[in-house]
């Protein structure tokens, strides 16, 4: 939220008298107090006020969108995928019996709930992560959201690893665990979900990669190394996007 929108919000919340709000608090917040009120300055002030009010009007919807994208990025799921929520719900449902942590279980149950509309679902997820409804959040609660999503998502991914190791199906469509250890000893892994609609595209890429490998003069071990290096780069890129989010 911009500084101007925050200032207008503060003025609206703290003003006791309408006159004080209109002729002092709002102009001060937008930097227009004690300035000669020419027609040009008046228009500029009204425009700034209008923009701040529009930003405040849209703030809650933007907050929910931030929760949505933060959630999907933390879980390495494309936020633009049409079945992203369904995939998360299915995976969470499979992992609930494996959880011994009450907070994590509450998080998984929110993810698994497909009865709520998207707005209510995001509100419930945000409430579990931050321990209060998004409607009551303060600016500092965004930091709590980000750290909480990182922690809970990491726990969720570990449960998915356990579920796959036990032969439990997590999520709809094809699900695989991709993991490797690089030359520096770092363990990189990710649960990869693929929808039936993506199978044709996946198969096409596999054929193209196989054609490249078949045409290479490299030995089988070197070919595997090339594939492993590509996987490492993809995993690194995914982790970097989550870190930067």
- pLDDT per residue over 71-100, tens digit each? 999 988 887 777 889 888 988 998 999 898
Is 66:124 a contact under the CB 8 Å cutoff? no
Determine, yes or no, domain membership for 72: no
Final residue of a structural domain among 33, 63, 93: 63
Final residue of a structural domain among 63, 86, 101: 63
pLDDT in tens, 115-164: 999 999 999 999 999 999 999 998 899 999 999 999 999 899 888 888 87
Final residue of a structural domain among 31, 47, 63: 63
Determine, yes or no, domain membership for 18: yes
Determine, yes or no, domain membership for 131: no
Determine the pLDDT at residue 36. 66
Determine, yes or no, domain membership for 133: no
Determine, yes or no, domain membership for 232: yes
The whole-number average pLDDT for the span 213-234 is 86
Average pLDDT, rounded, for the chain? 83
Higher pLDDT pick, 113 / 29: 113
State the total domains in the chain.
2
Q: In which domain, by residue range, is 195 found?
A: 176-244
The whole-number average pLDDT for the span 21-45 is 75
Determine, yes or no, domain membership for 88: no
Determine, yes or no, domain membership for 223: yes
Determine, yes or no, domain membership for 205: yes
pLDDT band at 242 (very low <50, low <70, confident <90, very high): very low
Determine the pLDDT at residue 175. 65
- pTM reported for the whole predicted model: 0.63
């Amino acid at each position: 939220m911009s500084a101007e929108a925050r200032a207008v919000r503060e003025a609206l919340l703290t003003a006791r008298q309408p006159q004080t709000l209109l002729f002092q608090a709002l102009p001060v917040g937008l930097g227009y107090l004690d300035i000669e009120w020419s027609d040009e300055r008046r228009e500029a002030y009204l425009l700034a006020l209008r923009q701040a009010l529009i930003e405040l009007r849209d703030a809650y919807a933007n907050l929910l969108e931030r929760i949505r994208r933060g959630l999907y990025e933390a879980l390495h799921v494309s936020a633009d995928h049409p079945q992203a929520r369904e995939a998360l719900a299915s995976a969470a449902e499979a992992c609930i019996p494996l959880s011994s942590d009450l907070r994590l279980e509450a998080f998984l149950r929110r993810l698994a709930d497909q009865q709520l509309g998207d707005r209510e679902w995001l509100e419930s997820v945000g409430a579990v992560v931050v321990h209060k409804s998004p409607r009551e959040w303060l600016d500092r609660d965004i930091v709590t959201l980000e750290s909480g999503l990182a922690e809970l998502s990491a726990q969720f991914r570990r449960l998915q690893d356990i579920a796959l190791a036990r032969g439990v199906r997590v999520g709809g469509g094809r699900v695989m665990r991709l993991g490797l250890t690089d030359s520096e000893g770092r363990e990189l892994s990710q649960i990869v979900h693929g929808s039936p609609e993506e199978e044709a595209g996946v198969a096409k890429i596999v054929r193209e990669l196989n054609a490249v490998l078949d045409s290479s003069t490299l030995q089988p071990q070197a070919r595997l190394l090339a594939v492993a290096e590509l996987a490492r780069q993809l995993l690194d890129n995914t982790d970097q996007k989550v870190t930067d989010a």
